[in-house]
Amino acid sequence: MKRLGFLLAASLVAAMPAALAVGRLADVEIIDRTTGTSLETHYYRGEYWVAGRPGARYAIAIHNRIGERLLAVTSVDGVNVISGDNAGFQQTGYVFGAYQSYEIAGWRKSDRDVATFEFTPSPNSYAERTGRPANVGVIGVALFRELRHEYYAPPPALNEPSARAEGAAGAPAEAARAKAADASVAQSLATPAPASPKLGTGHGAREASYVEHTEFERQSSEPNEVVRIRYDSYENLVAMGVIRSRPVQPPRPNAFPESPGRYVPDPPGAPAIGLR
């Protein structure tokens, strides 16, 4: 099952802190490119959430944790970030070398550039503007391990020439576990209505991003792992109970405000008293 993939030109990011990343085969996290910070992940009712800022550019940072290639079929708001099609497991994706890290920063427009991901009100999202509002607010990364062919020479039969047999690794059991985990997420409880229109991902300005084409043969038609991260504004996540609101701290008096001079100055109108 060979599929065309996109080979990343270089490793662009370091490994992410485990507290912010999601995933087993690869660490996945969301980077606010305006501030350069990693968005904190919140686990709520079987799903991971991050709070985005309207107008902020973001990237999907992926770090391959294993010593072999991985294919990452990536979607935003239910749309494949490379082809623009309704996302599916069998579509094209990015091929990560062993232990490679990279930031997927936008909708791919060519082998040389992307249109940046930007948090935006849902009506202005790329998915909704193209008539696909149903899945706005979710980022997905389907990870596939590569099929590796191992060749060996069996003992030759009597009066017959030697032959080489080709063996292939089977689909690992972790694919079944990933599928079961996806089913449990689908059965999670509904969340309260958000406080304001939810966030989506816009089709931002063009910027340079270079890739090459490569072939990748998957171990299985089903992904070995699926990472899903949902997102919305901070206010909406507070309203839905995903994030506990931070209490407003009243102003506190300062025990050592700036004071001119070394000694306590006289109050206005006080008589001058010299030291004896």
Q: What is the pLDDT of residue 108?
A: 97
Please tell me which residue, 89 or 187, carries the higher pLDDT value. Answer: 89
pLDDT at 7 over 80: no
pLDDT at 223 over 60: yes
Query: Does 272 reside within a domain?
Result: no
SS3 labels along the chain: CEEEEEEECCCCCCCCCCCCCECCCEEEEEEECCCCEECCCEEECCEEEEEECCCCEEEEEEEECCCCCEEEEEEECCEECCCCCECCCCCCCEEECCCCEEEECEEECCCCEEEEEEEEEHHHCHHHHCCCCCCCCEEEEEEEEECCEEEECCCCCCCCCCCCEEEECCCCHHHHHHHHHHHHHHCCCCCCCCCCCCEEEEEEEEEECCEEEEEEEECCCCCCEEEEEEEEEHHHHHHCCCCCCCCCCCCCCCCCCCCCCCCCCCCCCCCCCCCC
pTM across the whole model: 0.72
Query: Does 249 reside within a domain?
Result: no
Query: Does 85 reside within a domain?
Result: yes
Query: Does 265 reside within a domain?
Result: no
Q: What is the pLDDT of residue 20?
A: 73
Q: Give the range of the structural domain holding residue 194, as residue numbers without chain letter.
A: 2-148+168-239
- Average pLDDT score over residue span 246-269: 70
Query: Does 155 reside within a domain?
Result: no
pLDDT at 162 over 60: no
- Average pLDDT score over residue span 10-31: 71
In tens, the pLDDT along 163-203 reads 333 333 334 444 455 555 455 444 444 455 566 789 999 99
Q: How many domains does the chain have?
A: 1
Residue 76: closest CA among 92, 98, 62, 59: 59
Query: Does 163 reside within a domain?
Result: no
Burial (CB count <10 Å: 0-12, 13-18, 19+), residue 259: exposed
